[in-house]
Amino acid sequence: MRNAVCVTVDVEDFYDGMAALGHDVARPPGPPRGLGSLLERLEAQPGKPKVTLFVVANYAPAVRAELAAFAAAGHEIASHGADHGRLPTGAASEWLRKGREVLEDLLGVSVRGFRSPRFDIPGDGGLPRYRDELAAAGYHYVSDTSRLGTPSPVREVPVLSWRGIRLGGGSYQRLLPFSVVEAAARRSPGPAVLYYHSYDFDGTLPGLGAVRSPMLARQLLGRGRIAPIVWRLTERFGSETCAHVAG
Ligand SMILES: [Zn+2]
């Protein structure tokens, strides 16, 4: 039987993320367009691949109509945090719960999964406590880069990696030959969870010629390759939601 592939997309604002890193990048006029073009493309594919969107709650109102269209088409809405900051130390449960409830109230869907911004785990109490907090905040599964294994009260649906390299990520895939990514997805011992960002499908990110900072140039290098990689992978493997493979 073929291995399940889960295409996931972190839904967040590129310009806010860059500002948080100290880079003010001019925002193009008009609303963000990435999600609309992603949905259109997925719907046009044979087999109708289903994806999971990990959505930052405070960004969700800006793309509410697009998220509702994804949910209506059978895709999954999951949480990427109340905001895109660091996980709070101490009482993380409240922050985790808020990320879920904002999406559920806004969209009228049930949110089962969580992925932290930058795959963070809180500094205090380590992984066991974090997994407990996720369960207490009402989540059924988590998709990150850590594994607690059997003791975890939430299912773990980790992103695809190989020898510590996060091959599942678009940021790595844009720099690797397609055959490497394809082989890793094929050989993954469990579901191959791949992750991208909503702005990878937007087509309005600044060109490399427009930026001066080497850090920002690194962020943008090869970004245009990501969407075509996703189309090839979903055509080849299809895609299931994380909630589906988490059971
Ligand atoms: Zn993120």
Distance CA 17, CA 117 (A): 10
| Beta partners for residue 77, in sequence order | 53
E strand spans, the chain: 5-11, 52-55, 76-79, 113-114, 141-142, 155-156, 192-197
Measured in angstroms, how far is the CA atom of residue 150 from the centroid of ligand 1? 27
- Classify 41 as helix, strand or coil: helix
Ligand 1 center from residue 185 Cα (angstroms): 22
Going by the DSSP 8-state scheme, the letter that residue 4 receives in this structure is P
For the whole model, what pTM was predicted? 0.94
Helix (H, G, I), strand (E, B) or coil at 35: helix
What spacing in Å lies between the alpha carbon of 161 and ligand 1's midpoint? 17
For the chain, give the number of residues. 247
Three-state secondary structure call for residue 216: helix
Name the more confident of 3 and 197. 197
Other CB atoms closer than 10 Å to residue 234's CB: what's the count? 22
Structural domain range at position 205:
5-246
pLDDT > 70: what percent of the chain?
A: 98
Q: What mean pLDDT comes out for the span 188-201?
A: 93
Asked if the model's pLDDT at residue 195 lies above 60, the reply is yes
Question: How sure is the predictor about 234, in pLDDT bands with cuts at 50, 70 and 90?
Answer: very high
178 is written with which tokens? 């397609």
Report the CATH number that the domain containing residue 40 is assigned in CATH: 3.20.20.370
Distance of CA 10 from the midpoint of ligand 1 (Å): 6
Ligand 1 centre from 8 Cα, in Å? 11
- Give the pair of three-digit tokens for residue 30: 């008009």
Number of domains the chain contains: 1
Helix 178-187 / helix 226-237 crossing angle, nearest 10 deg: 40
Q: Give me the percent of the chain exceeding a pLDDT of 90.
A: 64
pLDDT average, residue stretch 168-172? 88
